Structure 1
Amino acid sequence: MRQCEVYLHNICAGVLTEEDNREYVFTYDKSYLSDEGNPPVSLTLPLREEPYRSPYLFSTFFNMLSEGENRQIQSQLLRIDAEDDFGILLATCQHDTVGAITVKPIV
């Protein structure tokens, strides 16, 4: 199981988990939900207490990943399988992402 904290505008919005069965779970942080001024991380993941589950990496996070040659170069340089979406997300989306979302691996 691998996990990361998901930040929106440098505020911890929740936790994204890749479970051992390759199911993905996103859960909003309770303190994030308690502030009514906080927006959802995406229109496809509206604010709610119940976790979101998917057999695929949620499009919000998948769309943060490089494609094509850039992805191949990243996977070679980082020594991560090019098909390991979650691994590449953890390795490349901690800083300077396009958009307001960043992730921090939980070790």
Structure 2
Amino acid sequence: MARHAIIYYKENLAGYLSETDEGYTFIYDDNYLQYKDAMPVSLTLPLQSKAYESRVLFSFFDGLIPEGWLLNVAQNYWKLKGNDRFELLLTLCRDAIGAVSILPQEEEVADV
């Protein structure tokens, strides 16, 4: 079963992250690529129209997931599995520190 996330850079819809049985895909939104001030979500994911693919969660997104005691508190509160990195990302990184936010695709809102 595939799971999907919507990636925002500041207030702008920047792209889409998907998890499938084969791995992960990140692709920038076509409209985002047209913005004159568009910025990559990460230096490791430069702006391009072609999708990025990886067998493991991209290091940038994995790095947004809290660590240590904060991760333990979150796992216990939401009863999350520590090895399900995509679920941790979807649950814990909606209001991540910095310019990037991650929302589960079914929860996209127009005024983020």
With normalisation by structure 2, the TM-score equals 0.88
**For 2:77 and 2:36, how far apart are their aligned partners in 1?**
41
Count of matched residue positions in the alignment of Structure 1 and Structure 2: 105
Give the structure 2 partner of residue 104 of structure 1.
103
**For 1:103 and 1:84, how far apart are their aligned partners in 2?**
16
Secondary structure, counterpart of 1:63 in structure 2: helix
Moved over 4 A (4+): none
Give the structure 2 partner of residue 30 of structure 1.
30
Q: How does 1:8-87 map to 2 (within 5 A)?
A: 8-21=9-22, 23-87=23-87
After superposition, what is the alpha-carbon deviation per residue over 1:20-55, rounded to whole angstroms, capped at 9, x for unaligned? 23x010000000011232011111000111100011
- 1:19, CA displacement in angstroms? 0.9
**For 1:10 and 1:76, how far apart are their aligned partners in 2?**
30
- 1:106, CA displacement in angstroms? 1.0
Percentage of pairs with the same residue: 35
Structure 1 unmatched runs, 5+: none
**For 1:50 and 1:80, how far apart are their aligned partners in 2?**
32
